[in-house]
Structure 1
Amino acid sequence: MSTLVEDNPAKHRFEILVDDALAGFTAYLPRGEVLLFSHTEVEPRFQNMGVGAALIRATLDQVRERGGRVVPQCPFMAAFIDRHPEYNDLVVARP
């Protein structure tokens, strides 16, 4: 299974492709260098396979590389950050 996570600025979301199929996305509202993440969705056929976690990890890594920050209003992303405190430095505010 090959995965790729890319920012889709036109749709304001990071998307994960699994074997070239759109498997999920995490939507954001840009606020300068801060991205407010509002919703994460994984296609039903890709659920319970670690796709959501892979999406969030790659998204946060890309935000870090750009020098950005996040507001994790999405419960899925907030829970991921709670389980992976190495990403706490990216968080601007908690909902």
Structure 2
Amino acid sequence: MTDTDDQPTVSRNDEDHRYEVHLGDVLAGFTQFRADARGRLLFPHTEVDPAFRGRGLAQIVVAEAMADAARRGETVVPHCPVVSKYLETHDVPGLSVEWPHKPHPE
């Protein structure tokens, strides 16, 4: 585990189609998204660098991604198991979620 006292920060990176969580200047993890033909945001994958695991960073980046999508009025389609689990256990005010019929292969 990498030692750092930096607080995690989350930002949306539209160029790389993902929300990123940083500790200081270091990219510690991300959750990817892509817009489908209907304009919904599909979330296929979330990843945290092994050096930063065990700090709850996946939850932090997904929480902020879902809150930001809600603020933007976007609809989320969770294919990633991390995103799905988060949405099953947390209420995100104002977020529109459309559950997929089939799991998305990673």
TM-score (norm 2): 0.80
CA distance in 1, matches of 2:98, 2:89: 17
Deviation at 1:76, TM superposition (A): 0.8
Q: How does 1:80-95 map to 2 (within 5 A)?
A: 80-84=86-90, 86-87=91-92, 89-94=95-100, 95=102
Q: How many residues align?
A: 94
- Where 2:87 maps in the other structure, the secondary structure is helix
- List runs of 5+ in structure 2 lacking aligned partners: 1-5
CA RMSD of aligned residues (A): 1.6
Identity over the aligned pairs, expressed in percent? 32
Secondary structure of 1:93's aligned partner: coil
Greater helix share, 1 or 2? 1
Question: Which residue pairs with 1:44 in the alignment?
Answer: 50
Equivalences for residues 1-95 of structure 1 within 5 A: 1-31=6-36, 33-84=39-90, 86-87=91-92, 89-94=95-100, 95=102
Which consecutive segments of 4 or more residues in structure 1 shift more than 6 A?
A: none
Amino acid at match of 2:51: R
Tell me the amino acid that sits aligned with residue 15 of structure 2.
A
Identify, as 1 or 2, the structure richer in strand. 1
Larger radius of gyration: 2
> Structure 1 stretches of 5 or more lacking a match?
none
TM-score, scaled to structure 1:
0.89
Distance 1:23 1:79 in 2: 20
